[in-house]
Amino acid sequence: KNKKLWGGRFAGTTAASVEAFTESISYDWRLYRHDIQGSMAHARMLARQGLISEQERDAILKGLAEIESEIEQDRFTFRPELEDIHMNIEKALTEKVGAAGEKLHTARSRNDQVALDIRLYLRDEGRVLDELLAGVQKSFVRLARRYLGAVMPGYTHLQRAQPVLLSHHLLAYYEMFGRDRGRVADCVRRLAVMPLGAAAMAGTGLPIDRRFVARELGFDEITANSMDTSGDRDFAMEMLFCLTVIQLHLSRLAEELVLWSSKEFEFIDIGDRYCTGSSIMPQKKNPDIPELIRGKTGRVAGALVALLMTVKGLPMTYNRDLQEDKEQLFDALDTVKASLSITAELLDNTTFRTDRLAEATRGGFMTATDLADYLVKKNMPFRQAHGVVGRIVAHCQERDVEIDELELDELRQFSDLIEEDVFEVLSVEGSVNSRVSEGGTARVRVEEALERAERQLGMT
């Protein structure tokens, strides 16, 4: 009893410690739907090629469908002694349909089987990620629409730099998550190549039809080299990279939300239902969600690095090390999906304090660049203008005033190119609305960007 599917050449039973150490069923059960999907396509191909009979095919298809619903309904017992999802399903199939089940693995190895399963799994997850990313984008776009016109300081080095529209800042995230969607789509396009038929690693002498299997599974291409196919995990690494960048983007946002909800900034208010309290300090309202999102970046980036290190130094072709890909993928996917979904909710439950944002644009000489540009428009070389304005700022700092609080005469001591119209340039609104270059923060540009985003997301 307790015979392994590969038990033929073995004398004794496997040590329990070895079974415990090598099993993957405790996590790769998640691949069951895709494993069954792949096996069904494979069985259809085997019958079409005359490698199994039509009755055998039908018995296999029926048995696999039953197993799928048993797993779905939690009526399936996963057996660790059967190692992984592939052998758990194959064994259950054979117990159900007898000899036909034993023919399913014809011209197939678990090496190409697992490569297929992960590709199918990630192809589906790619769609889920795309939807979640679009959801976050929509939340940003709604905020950008709601607060259109509100000004805030733009920062570099976390020092007040130039005034911008809040909506411009929000739409920056729209762009970042848009690139993430593109990256995931690229990754899925590259991984959607059908590996079955590589068998263990050398291909097979049995008359299979790989292109038929590819078509059945909705792949346009088949992998080109059987050895590459069994040893390749580029697609898993690439997906982990995509996930890492997504989580990094979320983490940068999280950092801003944490800062902005502090007393020091008071730029936002996060809804009570999306904050937590302190068990000792009764007054506290903490931004735990963004903190956790920021914190979880470590494990997602860690998953990427873990798989990179696993693959480093592996000789051709399949090595059992590769089994380590799955926990990293699953954990990173779970983490990123949960983070995306809670981020959208969090944004929908965040309000901006436009009064505080506007107040923060005053002070800090944020229109100094505008003054330099003003002088440039009057034909002063930019470097000279930079120098003039630098001296004006130093002068203001000494007297603890803002540039626009100086009298015209005082300003003219630094350059007689400065005239009455300078005060328009020194205003926050004037500064923002002067930045009309494509992609700039002028209201006209931001309105265009917002409309484009709404169109792209089908929100209009």
433 contacts ligand ARG (rule: CB under 6 A): no
Spatial separation of the C-alpha atoms in residues 183 and 241, rounded to whole Å: 9
Min CB(147)–ligand ARG separation in Å: 49
The tokens for 38 are 């792949």
Indicate the residue among 24 and 261 with the shorter CB distance to ligand ARG: 24
Find the helix packing angle between 288-311 and 325-348, rounded to 10°.
160
Nearer to ligand ARG, 24 or 343 (CB): 24
370 makes contact with ligand ARG (CB under 6 A): no
114 near ligand ARG (CB under 6 A): yes
As a whole number of angstroms, the distance between CA 290 and CA 275 comes to 10
Residue 140 corresponds to which tokens in the numbers above? Answer: 């940003």
Q: Which residues on neighbouring strands pair with residue 152, listed in sequence order?
A: 164
Residue whose CB is less far from ligand ARG, 24 or 415: 24
Cβ distance to ligand ARG smaller for residue 327 or 447: 327
The 3-state DSSP composition of the chain as helix, strand, coil percent (nearest 5) reads 65, 5, 30
Check 17, 157, 279, 437 and give the catalytic one.
Answer: 157
**N- to C-terminal Cα separation, the chain:** 65
Closest separation in Å from C-beta 109 to ligand ARG: 7
- Closer CB to ligand ARG, 118 or 270, in the complex: 118
Contact (Cβ atoms closer than 8 angstroms) between residue 269 and residue 354: no
Instruction: Supply the minimum distance, in Å, between the C-beta of residue 333 and ligand ARG.
Output: 16
Smallest distance from the beta carbon of 247 to ligand ARG, in angstroms? Answer: 24
| Residue closer to ligand ARG (CB basis): 139 or 323 | 323
**Residue 12 C-beta: closest distance to ligand ARG, Å:** 19
Q: By C-beta, is 111 or 361 nearer to ligand ARG?
A: 111
Q: Which CB atom, from 191 or from 406, has the smaller least distance to ligand ARG? A: 191
Contact status, residue 314 vs residue 325, Cβ threshold 8 Å: no
The residues with which 162 forms a beta bridge, in sequence order, are 154
As measured in angstroms, the least distance from the Cβ of 70 to ligand ARG is 21
Q: How far is the CB of 324 from ligand ARG (least distance, A)?
A: 8
| 107-115, 166-174, 271-279, 372-380 -> range binding ligand ARG (CB under 6 A) | 107-115
Q: How many CA atoms lie within 13 A of 347 on its CB side?
A: 23
Q: How far is the CB of 330 from ligand ARG (least distance, A)?
A: 12
Question: Minimum Å distance from CB 210 to ligand ARG?
Answer: 19
- Kindly state whether residue 111 participates in binding ligand ARG, applying the rule CB under 6 A: yes
> How far apart are the C-alpha atoms of 217 and 40, rounded to whole Å?
10
**84 sits near ligand ARG (criterion: CB under 6 A):** yes
Q: Which of 149, 140, 152, 145 is nearest to 180 (CA)?
A: 140
Which pair of structure tokens corresponds to residue 365? 């000489």
Q: Which own/partner pairs from 314-321 qualify as long-range (CB within 8 Å, at least 24 positions apart)?
A: 314/231, 316/201, 316/227, 316/231, 317/111, 317/201, 317/227, 317/228, 317/230, 317/231, 318/111, 318/200, 318/201, 318/230, 318/231, 319/231, 320/22
206, 194 in Cβ contact below 8 A? no
Q: List, as one string, the DSSP characters of 122-159.
A: HHHHHHHHHHHHHHHHHHHHHHHHHTTT-EEEEEETTE
Using CB under 6 A, which of the segments 34-42, 108-116, 375-383, 416-424 binds ligand ARG? Answer: 108-116
Fill in the per-residue mask, 268 to 297: x = in contact with ligand ARG (CB under 6 A), - = not in contact.
Answer: ------------------------------
Rg (CA), the chain: 30
Number of residues that bind ligand ARG (CB under 6 A): 9
- Interaction with ligand ARG in 308-337: which residues (CB under 6 A)? 320, 322-323
- Residues 12-31 as x/- pattern, contact with ligand ARG by CB under 6 A: ------------x---x---
Q: Does 115 bind ligand ARG (CB under 6 A)?
A: no
Question: Does the annotation mark 42 as catalytic?
Answer: no
Residue of 42, 108, 110, 168 interacting with ligand ARG (CB under 6 A): 110
- CA atoms within 13 A of residue 327's CA, in its CB half-sphere: 14
Contact between residue 165 and residue 443 where contact means Cβ atoms under 8 Å apart = yes
Tokens of 171: 């739409």
User: Residue 24 or residue 335: which is nearer to ligand ARG going by CB?
Assistant: 24
Q: Is 157 a catalytic residue?
A: yes
Q: What is the rounded CA–CA span in Å between residue 226 and residue 210?
A: 12
User: In angstroms, rounded to a whole number, what is the distance separating the alpha carbons of residues 182 and 42?
Assistant: 31
Catalytic residue among 53, 69, 262, 278: 278
Q: Which stretch binds ligand ARG (CB under 6 A): 36-44, 53-61, 110-118, 261-269?
A: 110-118
Residues labelled catalytic: 157, 278
Contacting positions for ligand ARG (CB under 6 A)? 24, 28, 84, 110-111, 114, 320, 322-323
